[in-house]
Amino acid sequence: MAYTTLSEKEVQFYKQNGYALRKKQLFSQEKMTELSDIFEEQWELVGRRLNSELDTPHFRDERLLKFLLSDEVLDLVEPLIGPNIGLWSSHFICKEPLVGKQTPWHEDSSYWNGRLSSFEKIVTVWLAIDRSTKENGCMRVIPGTHTDGFSEYEEVDGNQNIFSTEIKKVDNEKAVYFELEPGECSVHDSRIIHGAAANTSEFRRCGYTMRYFSTDAKVYEEKNKNHKIWLARGKDLAGNPFINV
Residue 32, domain member (yes or no): yes
Domain holding 97: CATH number? 2.60.120.620
What pLDDT score does 149 carry? 80
- Asked if 129 and 39 count as a contact pair (C-beta separation under 8 A), the reply is yes
Residue-wise pLDDT for 1-41, tens only, equals 556 689 999 999 999 999 999 999 999 999 999 999 999 99
Residue 3, domain member (yes or no): no
Residue 74, domain member (yes or no): yes
What pLDDT score does 220 carry? 97
Proportion of the chain in helix, strand, coil states, percent, rounded to 5: 25, 30, 45
Residue 204, domain member (yes or no): yes
Residue 172, domain member (yes or no): yes
Whole-number average pLDDT of the chain: 92
Give the other-Cβ count within 10 Å of 117's Cβ.
Answer: 11
Residue-wise pLDDT for 186-203, tens only, equals 999 999 999 999 999 999
What would the mean pLDDT of 200-214 be, rounded to a whole number?
Answer: 95
Instruction: Indicate if the alpha-carbon torsion angle 40, 124, 54, 227 is positive or negative.
Output: positive
Write out the residue range of the structural domain in which residue 70 sits: 8-243
What pLDDT score does 47 carry? 73
Residue 178, domain member (yes or no): yes
| Domains held by the chain: number | 1
What pLDDT score does 152 carry? 85
Residue-wise pLDDT for 92-118, tens only, equals 998 888 876 888 999 999 889 999 999
Residue 2, domain member (yes or no): no
Helical residues (DSSP H) of the chain, grouped into ranges: 8-17, 29-45, 65-68, 71-81, 108-111
Residue 167, domain member (yes or no): yes
